[in-house]
Amino acid sequence: MREVLEEEGINVCGTEFGKQLGAGLFEFRVRGQLSEYVDGAPPDAAEEKILIRVFCHAHGDKLVLLLAGYDKLANPSKVHQNEEIAVARKRLTAWKVRQAKAAKKGRKAKPRGSR
């Protein structure tokens, strides 16, 4: 995930690895064989498939918030996926509220007339 995001950045949603979900949320997709992602994986690991979904938010050009994720092979239902997306949206909203409070507090702390 790190390598793909370092290379693609916020453009990851234009690749097979990403999908925009709206309102600042995107899905990062990891799929394939375990051995593709783990150096030194045992030979039998090549048969183990993975299908992971991680829900993220890009903040600026360099920060990606990881908000929720799950193993889609373990629970492929659409209901579960929607529950995970709801958790991610709730966490993103809470983070945005904290950011706004911190920014407001920072403005209040500055003396009058300063910029």
> What are the structure tokens assigned to 68, written together?
């929720």
Count: domains in the chain: 1
Residue 115 lies in a domain: no
Residue 114 lies in a domain: no
- 86: pLDDT strictly greater than 60: yes
At 114 the pLDDT is 46
Q: Domain limits at 70?
A: 2-109
CB atoms within 10 A of CB 59: 15
CA 107 to chain centre: 29
- 9: pLDDT strictly greater than 80: no
- Distance between CA 38 and CA 16 in Å, rounded? 20
SS3 call for 96: helix
- 84: pLDDT strictly greater than 90: yes
At 112 the pLDDT is 47
Residue 26 lies in a domain: yes
DSSP result, 15-61: STTEEEEETTEEEEEEEEEHHHHSTT--GGGGG-EEEEEEEEEEETT
Between 80 and 64, the higher pLDDT residue: 80
The pLDDT-based confidence of 110 (bands split at 50, 70, 90) is: very low
How confident is the model over 3-21, as a mean pLDDT? 85
Long-range pairs for 102-108: beta carbons < 8 A, 24 or more residues apart: none
Residue 17 lies in a domain: yes
At 13 the pLDDT is 81
> What are the structure tokens assigned to 87, written together?
């958790």
Total-model pTM: 0.76
Average pLDDT of every residue of the chain: 83
